[in-house]
Structure 1
Amino acid sequence: MASIFQNKKFDSFGIEILMDGDRFRLYGFPQRRDAVAFKERLEELQVCVKLGNVPAHLKLWLAKLWEKNRFQYHKLAEMGLADAREDCGTIGELIERYKTYAINGQEPKERTSRNRAVAAKTLLNFIANQKPGNFHQDRVALRLASERLVNEITPDFVRKFYAYMQKTYRQSTWGRRVKHFKVMFEMAVHAGWISENPFAKLRGSAVVSRSRDFNISPELAQQVLTACPSARWRLLFSFARWGGLRMPSEITFLRWSDIDWTGNRIRICEPKKTRRREQEQGIFSERYIPIFPEIRTALEEFLAETGEKTGEEVKSKRVKECKAQRD
């Protein structure tokens, strides 16, 4: 139970409470009636926490206490009577946390972190009144935008930002970014920076837009091959056009040992479908594609060109081994 004492040194009152054999003290009540009112709430909260059911009016009281006196709130959290909360951080701090935020214990890939940063830049641009893109932007304005507190993002601000995104970007773009902001500001809720997620009621959808799909006909593909500056570029284009490889992720992991000349097929590693932990172990989801005539022609040209050049020994050795396997 709790008791009230007088702090004669500072001409104020305090509360002493015993919990699980430990004594805690709360200071800073100017009038005795203030301490009495706080003591009554504190004793009620102590009973409810033991029962495992904190009613709504006590949750509201804790929320107001957080806004009014954070020192006392932190003391209650130390006693186990309130959830631990941090002082409200800045938008820049929230973005940095979100970039490395792990989902289901899985650390994000580098490209995932980069995509999160791009989405967050949209919010900073809007706050700083900057045009989309990375050119001719006011760095000072962006820095000041990143230093604003997260709790300054109100529902009214979010409605204006939502309308701005719908006007500026395609649905597939702003739909994905709304999803980013939902997760990002949910992190702020869990950290105790804000009580509600201002993006919670917005609808985000990753609609795939087919309006810009374009079929590269064989005639156009031949024109592109003719314009390619080297055999390497012709090989890259052939893998993308006829092999259907994801560029650049799948071509990055392609090795000469993946080419089965005898079986007329190529093993393709799929980093997009592989967890990061498995990638670090060298384990990839994979599929096989045929060595189409166009790809075979590009491979043979690249092998001939590379074999004629003087490069590092490992590269020359791999080319020779591949030639021997093909023959």
Structure 2
Amino acid sequence: MASLIKTTSKRTGKPRYSVQVNIGERNRPTFPLGQLTKKQAEAAKGHIENLLSTKRSGSILDGPTADWLARIDNSLRDRLAKYELCAPRVATKPQTAVPKLGAFIDGYISKRSEELKPRTIINLKVARGHLVEFFSVDRDLDSITPGDADDFRRSLIAKGLEENTVRRTCGRAKQFFRDAVRRRVIDESPFADMKATSVTANRKRDYFVTSEEADAMLEACPDTQWKLIIALSRYGGLRCPSEHLALTWGDVDWKRKRIRVRSPKTAHHDGHEERIMPLFPQLQPYLEAAWQELIDSEDFTPEAQPTSELPVITRYRDSNSNLRTQLLRIIKRAGLVAWPKLFQNMRATRATELAKEHPGHVAATWLGHSTKVADKHTIGR
């Protein structure tokens, strides 16, 4: 049925073995075994004979031969399969190294750096910091379990972070791991089933900034630009600083008494790149003062650049300008006590006023948010 053939290697002088099998119809293929001991070669011959016998009888392959078949190299296995003495070996996908936690998140942020706003990138990096602090930067991504994710959330609470900060951080962690699942890096996200990762309104931090308080701040401002920043926030309801800095004089329509507000925050939503709102009477004097200051300036050269392209806020545009710190100084100078979410509550106060004076959908459109969002952030009085 099968014959063991011995030859000698010309290069090494060592014996080499092969097995010749009589399959039938003058078909006697040879299966090289390589440099083996005679005992190993005879064992291989016996296994090949078992393969041939199993093929002819249709019986089940015995355990020892099946184990041998699983261990042999690909060249011998492929040759046996060629003559239908065994099934072809299934190619296995090479194992790729599971990325480390820190490196994966860094890659995620880097890939999205062109589409994300600077503040969003900062927030993602803060979430990354919490994750690598708890799990370590070199933790294998697939080794983190849902139980580990729960422990991570508890660690944030133990740090004394506010509920919404915990929710945001876990939401961003969920975002990272969801991306890993989509890229087939891991099979499932340990944060997938975690609830309470969306932010809820914290009514304890609501504060209605009265017109008297606004007037006191305006009186305490060091210059016209700061007066305009506060007026745009409190009486215009603009998002600070993004919408303030995007505003140009071409956006101010004095004749029709309206303002075009371009919103970087909602620009990625179709139809929400900009909005039109009234030039409110409370806001108009501060825009007029800033305009007069501009045209009276020695640096005013409309021939060098169209006036419509000039920014309304010319100072405090640098990324190092900490508007919150400067506003705290103004509040102190005005004899007031600072409130939570300084700029957000000025915008929310204006939203509350407008919702009381106008139809809800109209007020929401002017401020660039949905009525659902408006209801969530309206300050009760």
- What TM-score range do you get, normalising by the shorter chain? 0.5 to 0.7
RMSD: 3.7
Gaps of 5+ in 1: 14-30, 44-71, 79-84, 128-144, 323-327
Return the match for 1:307 from 284, 288, 295.
295
Contact kept, 8 Å, 2:164 with 2:200, in 1: the verdict is yes
Gaps of 5+ in 2: 1-30, 45-63, 78-88, 311-381
Return the match for 1:272 from 265, 268, 290.
265
Distance in 2 between residues matched to 1:256 and 1:237, nearest whole Å: 17
Distance in 2 between residues matched to 1:321 and 1:270, nearest whole Å: 16
Return the match for 1:224 from 182, 200, 217.
217
Q: Deviations over 1:273-312 (max 9, x none)?
A: 2228x8xxxx962222222223211112212222332226
- Alignment pair present for 1:181 and 2:206: no
Contact kept, 8 Å, 2:294 with 2:300, in 1: the verdict is no
| Structure 1 residue 234: Cα displacement | 0.5
Contact kept, 8 Å, 1:100 with 1:113, in 2: the verdict is no
Q: 1:147 to 1:253 in 2, by over 3 A?
A: same
Alignment of 1:243-262 (within 5 A): 243-262=236-255
Return the match for 2:132 from 124, 128, 140.
124
Contact kept, 8 Å, 1:172 with 1:207, in 2: the verdict is yes
Q: Deviations over 1:82-136 (max 9, x none)?
A: xxx631111121111221456xxx9434433332222222212334xxxxxxxxx
Return the match for 2:107 from 56, 81, 97.
97
Distance in 1 between residues matched to 2:192 and 2:305, nearest whole Å: 57
Distance in 2 between residues matched to 1:284 and 1:160, nearest whole Å: 39
Q: 1:150 to 1:313 in 2, by over 3 A?
A: same
In structure 2, the residue matched to 1:77 is 93
Count how many residue pairs are aligned between Structure 1 and Structure 2.
238
Return the match for 2:97 from 87, 92, 95.
87
| Structure 1 residue 257: Cα displacement | 0.8
In structure 2, the residue matched to 1:36 is 69
Q: 1:213 to 1:316 in 2, by over 3 A?
A: farther
Contact kept, 8 Å, 1:307 with 1:320, in 2: the verdict is no
Distance in 2 between residues matched to 1:152 and 1:271, nearest whole Å: 38
In structure 2, the residue matched to 1:132 is none
Contact kept, 8 Å, 2:157 with 2:166, in 1: the verdict is yes
| Structure 1 residue 170: Cα displacement | 2.4
Q: 1:321 to 1:191 in 2, by over 3 A?
A: closer
Q: Deviations over 1:208-229 (max 9, x none)?
A: 2222111110111011111211
| Structure 1 residue 197: Cα displacement | 1.8
| Structure 1 residue 159: Cα displacement | 2.3
Deviates more, 1:237-246 or 1:266-275: 266-275
Distance in 2 between residues matched to 1:212 and 1:229, nearest whole Å: 28
Q: Deviations over 1:137-190 (max 9, x none)?
A: xxxxxxxx3233323433443222111223432222222222221221233334
Distance in 1 between residues matched to 2:192 and 2:295, nearest whole Å: 58
| Structure 1 residue 256: Cα displacement | 0.5
Return the match for 1:146 from 137, 142, 154.
137
TM-score (norm 1): 0.61
Q: 1:170 to 1:290 in 2, by over 3 A?
A: same
Return the match for 1:194 from 178, 183, 186.
186
| Structure 1 residue 240: Cα displacement | 0.5
Contact kept, 8 Å, 2:251 with 2:259, in 1: the verdict is yes
Distance in 2 between residues matched to 1:223 and 1:316, nearest whole Å: 38
Distance in 2 between residues matched to 1:285 and 1:184, nearest whole Å: 27
Q: 1:184 to 1:236 in 2, by over 3 A?
A: same
The structure with more radius of gyration: 2
The structure whose RCO (Cα within 8 Å, separation 6+) is larger is 2
